[in-house]
């Protein structure tokens, strides 16, 4: 059954309208008609089954059944990614959603490219929200990732990360400790990983992170593109956590 995002998924008998963009997709692309059924999700774990009542500029639906609420739980992976340019970061957002990353933070470091402004950050968050909606509809995820933006220094010294079982900083110059060499016998509940932008991290940043309790590690002999490294690392660690 096709799934669509709605801020309100309602209870049985409630009337819900979809936004213009999704209404166009339903009527002009999928060519759904009144009496066809769809699923609605709110990005917070709520999901319902609904019947199309009318089509047009805005599709109107009647909720048939409120399905079980999905609660966030289980092991968590936080992905802290050095800010990437344009579509590279969009790709990381999309694939992180599909894989099951719990939180994605864009990290502004000394080698981040592009200007930083409040307006740019707002536009970026709105674009990410649309990407997450689309990815959730495709993969069946019911709860959106938490997203945000933070400076490198704020992140590596943040007290809220003290409860992480493991904090890993990935650095292309790290040869002594590779990801495959870490002890995976421990059942980790929360892992936070930090990967650099296109230019990587400076030695001063790595030293600051290590002094704050982060473990410097690497993926191996190959130097991967920043977006490739993020997706590959998230996949490996989510598998280790038993999420995929």
3-state SS assignment for residue 57: coil
- Is residue 238's pLDDT more than 80? yes
3-state SS assignment for residue 70: coil
Q: Tens of pLDDT along 61-75?
A: 999 999 977 777 789
Q: How many angstroms separate the CA atoms of 10 and 38, rounded? A: 13
pLDDT of the residue at 116: 65
How many helices (H) and strands (E) in the chain?
A: 6, 11
Q: How many angstroms separate the CA atoms of 19 and 23, rounded? A: 6
pLDDT of the residue at 184: 83
pLDDT of the residue at 191: 95
Q: Tens of pLDDT along 70-108?
A: 777 789 999 999 999 879 999 999 999 999 999 999 999
In the CATH scheme, what is the code of domain 76-240? Answer: 3.40.1280.10
pLDDT of the residue at 242: 87
- Is residue 196's pLDDT more than 70? yes
**CATH homologous superfamily for the domain 3-66:** Hypothetical PUA domain-like; domain 1 (2.40.240.20)
State the average pLDDT over residues 157-161.
90
**Verdict on whether the full-model pTM lies above 0.85:** yes
**Domain ranges in the chain with CATH number 2.40.240.20:** 3-66
pLDDT of the residue at 152: 95
Q: Tens of pLDDT along 118-145?
A: 787 888 899 999 999 999 999 999 999 9
- Is residue 114's pLDDT more than 70? no
- Is residue 115's pLDDT more than 70? no
What percent of the chain has pLDDT above 70? 98
- Is 238:244 a contact under the CB 8 Å cutoff? yes
**Domain ranges in the chain with CATH number 3.40.1280.10:** 76-240
Which pLDDT band, with edges at 50, 70 and 90, does 146 fall under?
A: very high
DSSP element (H, E) containing 81: strand 76-82
- Is residue 244's pLDDT more than 90? no
Cβ-count burial 158-176 (b if 16+ within 10 Å, e if not): eeebeebebbbbbbeebee
What percent of the chain has pLDDT above 90? 75
Q: How many angstroms separate the CA atoms of 166 and 234, rounded? A: 14
Q: What rounded mean pLDDT belongs to the chain? A: 92
Alpha helices by DSSP H, listed for the chain, are 20-24, 87-99, 118-139, 152-156, 203-211, 226-240
Q: Tens of pLDDT along 197-235?
A: 998 999 999 999 999 999 999 998 888 999 999 999 999
């Amino acid at each position: 059954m096709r799934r669509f995002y709605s801020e309100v998924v309602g209870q049985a008998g409630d009337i819900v309208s979809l936004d213009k963009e999704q209404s166009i997709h339903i009527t002009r692309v999928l060519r759904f008609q009144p009496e066809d059924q769809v699923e609605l999700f709110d990005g917070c774990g709520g999901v319902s089954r609904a019947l199309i009542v009318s089509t047009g500029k805005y599709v109107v639906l009647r909720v048939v059944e409120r399905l079980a609420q999905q609660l966030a739980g289980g092991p968590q992976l936080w992905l802290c990614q050095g800010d990437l340019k344009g579509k590279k970061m969009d790709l990381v957002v999309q694939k992180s959603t599909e894989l099951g990353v719990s939180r994605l933070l864009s990290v502004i470091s000394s080698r981040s490219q592009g200007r930083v402004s409040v307006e740019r950050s707002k536009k970026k968050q709105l674009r990410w929200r649309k990407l997450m909606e689309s990815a959730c509809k495709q993969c069946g995820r019911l709860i959106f990732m938490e997203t945000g933006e933070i400076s490198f220094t704020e992140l590596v010294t943040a007290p809220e990360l003290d409860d992480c079982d493991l904090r890993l900083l990935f650095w292309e110059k790290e040869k002594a400790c590779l990801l495959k060499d870490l002890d995976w016998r421990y059942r980790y509940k929360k892992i936070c990983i930090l990967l650099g932008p296109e230019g990587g991290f400076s030695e001063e940043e790595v030293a600051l992170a290590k002094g704050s309790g982060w473990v410097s590690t690497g993926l191996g002999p190959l130097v991967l593109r920043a977006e490739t490294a993020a997706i590959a690392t998230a996949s490996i660690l989510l598998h280790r956590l038993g999420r995929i």
